[in-house]
Amino acid sequence: MTRILFVCLGNICRSPTLEAVARVEFARAGLAVEVDSAGTAAYHVGEPPDRRSIAAGAAHGYDLSPLRARQVVAADFTRFDRILAADRANLRDLLALRRAHGTEPALFLADAEVPDPYYGGPADFEHVIALAREGMAALIASLRGGDMVAGRGR
């Protein structure tokens, strides 16, 4: 089974949103994929997602409430087949953690970032949902061996 890890900074806003959207959309697509998420930083380890992310997800049918934050660990680079970063800073941090032969991390959106909504407002959290849905459609196409959707995703 394919295993995918979504990564952001705190693992309380973007990557748990990506994980929750992935669970629903992969199931809808009939794809058996194991998904998880983690943060490059340890600030929020053990905490549930940000309540604003939980609310934005719930409004679209995505349940983030059972998720708890964890930090990326070295074993993730051998356990996961794809490690997908929300933004370029997350990608740089992942590349610094990666050892030889481990899965090479990539951006979740091939040519764009999922911007950090933490210091933003409701529209920023809504934007994360939209980007998560868009990127997941491209990722599903990629997993099926299909073409990239609108040139995004991996």
Both tokens of 19, joined, read 């994980």
For ligand 4NP, which residue has the nearest CB?
10
User: Judged by CB under 6 A, which of 31, 55, 118, 142 binds ligand 4NP?
Assistant: 118
Instruction: Using the minimum distance from each CB to ligand 4NP, give the nearer residue, 131 or 139.
Output: 131
CA-closest candidate to residue 4, choices 30, 45, 37, 29: 37
Distance of alpha carbon 69 from alpha carbon 115, whole angstroms: 19
Instruction: Using the minimum distance from each CB to ligand 4NP, give the nearer residue, 132 or 138.
Output: 132
The length of the chain is 154
> Is residue 14 near ligand 4NP by the rule CB under 6 A?
yes
Q: Which stretch binds ligand 4NP (CB under 6 A): 7-15, 24-32, 134-142, 146-154?
A: 7-15
Distance of alpha carbon 131 from alpha carbon 146, whole angstroms: 20
Catalytic residues: 8, 14, 116
